[in-house]
């Protein structure tokens, strides 16, 4: 399996993520030649699969990161960083049967929940994703303990490692697809300037990523302190859960997306009776994902 080095593209955090059929479609850097399209004259089985996928779903489909202009795909990650120093290489799917199964997963578990405005500009379906850091002009294996991701959601593409899915049962695929949908939603929402998102962040804005005074040990003591500041989950990193730290904006957004996707208003009002700000944030997030086109 070939590994092709992904180039690095620096993105500003405020850059607007645009989906396949939004009002201002994301245009390739080469406006005269769309590097994502399949040659009209190509009639091999993979090309036909890619054409059919776009025709049905209004998203481009890739099986490797070399575009038709010869340039390498820029994922366009990360969500909240001012600069992107992440780089990825990919192990490709090698058989047409694997590619059929990859498409089946996307069409069965992801796309039914994503309206046209929510759908990624393109899907890159591969076997494995390998993660590196770009430092001082060189690629280095990360020393922060982060393992290779099973998916990467970016501005131009959502890459999915199908090896993580191969052995999953139905229930596991459903859970995994929810994680991926939360990531797609969070990536889009983080680039919104809409009034409802500003209202959502206003509740906890001054506490994002802040450490509490003193030490808090465990959920029993920590969760009420988090809830009091309108949060439903603490900060978490590769070292564990930190009840002493408030979540980052990214973590807060994902926590409330998950709540909005999987919990009714009645349940939220019952569980968070003493925390009206949480109920308000839930309503705002529910409104945001619904208006963006999330389909339960």
Give residue 185's pLDDT band: very low, low, confident or very high (50, 70, 90).
Answer: very high
Confidence of residue 194 (pLDDT cuts 50, 70, 90): confident
- CA 254 to chain centroid, in Å, comes to 10
Contact assessment for residue 57 and residue 107, using Cβ atoms and an 8 Å cutoff: yes
Mean pLDDT of 6-26: 38
Contact present, 216 and 223 (Cβ < 8 Å): no
Q: In what order do the strands lie in the sheet with 158-161?
A: 60-62, 122-126, 158-161, 151-153
Residue 172 has pLDDT above 60, yes or no: yes
| CB 247 within 8 Å of CB 208 | yes
42-55 pLDDT tens trace: 999 999 999 999 99
DSSP 17-36: P--TTSSSPPPPSSTTS-TT
> Residue 14: is its pLDDT beyond 50?
no
pTM: predicted TM-score of the whole model, two decimal places: 0.79
**Backbone dihedral region of 77: left (phi > 0), alpha (psi from -120 to 50 degrees) or beta?**
beta
Which pLDDT belongs to residue 203? Answer: 96
What pLDDT does residue 146 have?
60
Residue 83 reports pLDDT greater than 90? no
More confident site: 271 or 156: 271
Distance CA 292, CA 118 (A): 6
Residue pair 134/78 in contact (Cβ under 8 Å)? The answer is no
Report residue 32's pLDDT band, with 50, 70 and 90 as the boundaries. Answer: low
Is 272 in contact with 224 (CB distance < 8 Å)?
A: no
**Location of structure tokens 């300037």:** 193
More confident residue, 116 or 238: 116
Listed range (77-81, 201-205, 230-234) with the worst mean pLDDT? 77-81
Q: CB-based contacts of 254: which residues, under 8 Å, 6+ apart? A: 182, 183, 186
Q: 93-97, 182-186, 234-238, 290-294 — which is least confidently predicted? A: 234-238
Q: What are phi and psi of 54, to 5 degrees?
A: -65, -40
pLDDT of 240: 85
**Residues 203-214: what's their mean pLDDT?**
92
| pLDDT the model gives residue 143 | 61
Which position has the higher pLDDT, 254 or 25?
Answer: 254
- State residue 166's pLDDT score: 85
Tell me: pLDDT of 244 over 70: yes
């Amino acid at each position: 399996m070939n590994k092709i080095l992904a180039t690095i593209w620096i993105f500003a955090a405020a850059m607007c993520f645009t989906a396949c059929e939004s009002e201002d479609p994301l245009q390739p850097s080469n406006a005269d030649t769309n590097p994502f399209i399949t040659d009209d004259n190509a009639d091999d089985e993979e090309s036909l699969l890619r054409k059919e996928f776009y025709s049905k779903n209004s998203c481009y489909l890739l099986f490797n990161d070399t575009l038709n202009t010869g340039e390498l795909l820029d994922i366009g990650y990360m969500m909240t960083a001012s600069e992107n120093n992440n780089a990825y290489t990919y192990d490709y799917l090698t058989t047409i049967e694997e590619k059929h199964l990859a498409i089946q997963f996307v069409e069965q578990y992801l796309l039914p929940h994503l309206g046209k405005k929510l759908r990624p500009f393109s899907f890159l379906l591969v076997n494995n994703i390998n993660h590196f850091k770009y430092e001082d002009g060189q690629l280095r294996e990360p020393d922060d303990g982060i393992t290779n991701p099973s998916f990467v959601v970016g501005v131009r593409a959502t890459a999915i490692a199908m090896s993580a899915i191969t052995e999953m049962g139905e229930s596991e695929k459903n859970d995994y697809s929810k994680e991926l949908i939360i990531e797609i939603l969070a990536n889009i929402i983080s680039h919104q300037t809409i009034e409802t998102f500003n209202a959502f962040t206003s509740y906890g804005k001054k506490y994002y990523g802040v450490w509490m005074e003193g030490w808090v040990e465990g959920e029993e003591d920590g969760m009420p302190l988090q809830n009091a500041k309108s949060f439903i989950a603490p900060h978490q990193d590769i070292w564990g859960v930190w009840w002493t730290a408030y979540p980052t904006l990214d973590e807060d957004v994902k926590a409330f997306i998950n709540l909005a996707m999987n919990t009714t208003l009645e349940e939220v009002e019952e569980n968070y009776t003493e925390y009206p700000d949480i109920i308000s944030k839930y309503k705002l997030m529910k409104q945001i994902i619904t208006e963006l086109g999330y389909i339960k």
